[in-house]
Amino acid sequence: MSAQAAFRFADTAPRYTSYPTAPHFHEGVKDATVRGWMAAVKDGEAVSLYIHIPFCDRLCWFCACHTRHTLRYEPVAAYLETLYREIALAAASLPDSVQVGAVHLGGGSPTLLTPQDFRHLMDTLRATFRFTANASVSVEIDPTDMDEARLDAIAAAGVTRASLGVQDFRIEVQKAINREQSFEDTKAVVEGLRARGVSAINLDLVYGLPHQSVASIADTVALSLSLRPSRLALFGYAHVPWFKKHQKLIDEAALPDREARMAQSARAAALIREAGYEAIGLDHFALPDDSLALAARRGALRRNFQGYTDDGCETLIGLGPSSISGFREGYAQNAPAMGIYRRAIEKGMLPVARGFELSGEDRVRAWVIERLMCDFGFSADEASGRFGEDAEAVVDEARQMCDRFPDVLSRQGDSFTVQPQARAHVRSVAAGFDSYIGRGTARHSIAV
């Protein structure tokens, strides 16, 4: 059996936006590997693009993203010129018939870009790739970056969904994470987007932050619900100061303990559900008519490096430093360091630093873990139908888990289901099917 002996409600676990997870990527995946994977994308297939903007004009101490703080725009402008060259390299490596079905701009802060540069970036993507008629374009927004010109640019660029970082509206919490952002500023951005036709709005909340309490997270949820977003995400703060040094600026004595985190999460989730939102996977909520809720109901919910999604594309092309691409054959991550990233592109090479080529067993485990994270269960018959004999060992592990931990995983016919009382710990359950966990020196954030 894999790591099941250690899985039971472990204190820490991966977030499983991929399997194997990024700490197990290695340098054996190179430019030539990824060009081969790109060339193998099916003719006419729709792919997704992730565009990483690795800059912020303030450094939020809680953030674990690959970003850098800058108060000057010159590094941003220089980066965009390199990014345009990478876009051209990627397009040249893909079959001409490939289409783009979804674009996500993340960071960092994509809204740090000037309105002119934001529009030019989207114009470049549309001129380089053929977009499907119903392609979605989503962008992560820091509300304190926004002004009327940026709102106009987002609408003119064809953005269909905007995700706004909220975290917590209580000023004591905001000061403790160096992210002061009023409810009034956030509301103004939401209203400005809606007035320009961008009606799909996501709000991202975080529990487990310093000085947070059940009362403060409840107040934040109430204010957020008053804006009636299409989706709400409720993330647990990942305190990983060994990975992100600036998190050492956070007073660890002010962080809630495990029980307090669970109480905050439970209270917030209950309030969101009471407001008519459907729970999606581990930490997302959506209005019943939102595409994420519709995908969850029909068993089409997916999980990728941006989290839960209704994006059905099998191939994700990551552009920008540290971004990760996902192919049928495996994963590839760009160099995080700007200098290494730039020099590779100047040589006409894809800026790949590391990755992972999937085996048959990896694909089975990846699918099982994704289904657990999305649906809290999976079908043995479907696993066998998809993967044949490769699925047998993993299905047998699921049977053994049911026998050992019937209060965690149950079986009815060919279906395995995470028990309701264990669903808050689904990351730990998924870790029971992770054959790489425990190898190497990877450290993970708290599991709940």
DSSP-assigned states of every residue in 189-212? HHHHHHHTT--EEEEEEEES-TT-
What is the pTM (predicted TM-score) of this model?
0.92
> Which pLDDT band, with edges at 50, 70 and 90, does 5 fall under?
very low
> Which pLDDT band, with edges at 50, 70 and 90, does 446 fall under?
low
In a domain, 350, yes or no: no
How many domains are contained in the chain?
A: 1
**Is the link from the previous residue into 108 a cis peptide, with omega within 30 of 0?**
yes
| CB burial string 158-178: b at 16+ within 10 A, e below | bbbbbbbbbbbbbeebbebbe
In a domain, 20, yes or no: no
Rounded CA-CA distance 389/369 in Å is 18
In a domain, 310, yes or no: yes
Torsion angle (degrees, nearest 10) of CA 323, 326, 329, 334: 0
In a domain, 150, yes or no: yes
Residue set of the binding site for S-adenosyl-L-methionine = 50, 62-64, 107, 140, 167, 179, 204, 238, 324
Rounded CA-CA distance 376/279 in Å is 12
In a domain, 434, yes or no: no
Specify the CATH number for the domain of residue 276: 3.20.20.70
Residue set of the binding site for [4Fe-4S] cluster = 56, 60, 63
In a domain, 63, yes or no: yes
Identify the residue whose tokens are 């920008």.
320
Q: State pLDDT tens for residues 396-431.
A: 999 999 999 999 999 999 999 999 999 999 999 999
C-alpha to C-alpha distances, 9 to 5, 76, 148, 247, 448, nearest whole angstrom:
11, 43, 47, 25, 9
Rounded CA-CA distance 229/202 in Å is 6
Dihedral sign, Cα of residue 283, residue 288, residue 290, residue 295: positive
Annotate 268-337 with DSSP letters as a single string.
HHHHHHHTTPEEETTTEEE-TTSHHHHHHHTT--EEETTEEE----S-EEEESTT-EEE-SSEEEEE-SS
Q: Per the structure block, which two tokens stand in for 4?
A: 């099941």
Give the CA radius of gyration of the chain: 21
**Mean model confidence pLDDT for the chain:** 93
Rounded CA-CA distance 438/436 in Å is 6
pLDDT at 6 over 50: no
> Which pLDDT band, with edges at 50, 70 and 90, does 63 fall under?
confident
Instruction: Count Cα atoms within 13 angstroms, Cβ side, for 270.
Output: 9
Task: Reduce the DSSP state of residue 151 to 3 states and report it.
Answer: helix
Mean pLDDT for the stretch of residues 356-369? 97
**What percentage of the chain carries pLDDT values higher than 90?**
85
Mean pLDDT for the stretch of residues 245-274? 92
CA-wise closest residue to 430 among 18, 16, 12: 16
pLDDT at 447 over 80: no
The whole domain housing 139 covers 41-318
What percentage of the chain's residues is helix, strand, coil (to nearest 5)?
40, 20, 35
Q: State pLDDT tens for residues 297-346.
A: 999 999 999 889 999 999 999 999 999 999 999 999 999 999 999 999 99
Residue set of the binding site = 50, 56, 60, 62-64, 107, 140, 167, 179, 204, 238, 324
Q: Per the structure block, which two tokens stand in for 405?
A: 């931990």
pLDDT at 448 over 80: no
Rounded CA-CA distance 352/355 in Å is 8
H or E element that contains 418: strand 415-418
In a domain, 264, yes or no: yes
What's the 3-state SS for 91-123?
HHHCCCCCEEEEEEEEECCHHHCCHHHHHHHHH
Tell me the sheet residues that pair with 331. Answer: 326, 356
pLDDT at 3 over 50: no
Q: In angstroms, how far is the first alpha carbon of the chain from the final one?
A: 24
**Is the link from the previous residue into 75 a cis peptide, with omega within 30 of 0?**
no
In a domain, 24, yes or no: no
According to the model, what pLDDT value does residue 441 have?
53
Q: Per the structure block, which two tokens stand in for 212?
A: 């947070």
Rounded CA-CA distance 213/235 in Å is 15
Q: State pLDDT tens for residues 176-230.
A: 998 899 999 999 999 999 999 999 999 999 999 999 999 999 999 999 999 999 9
According to the model, what pLDDT value does residue 69 have?
86
Torsion angle (degrees, nearest 10) of CA 55, 57, 63, 64: 20
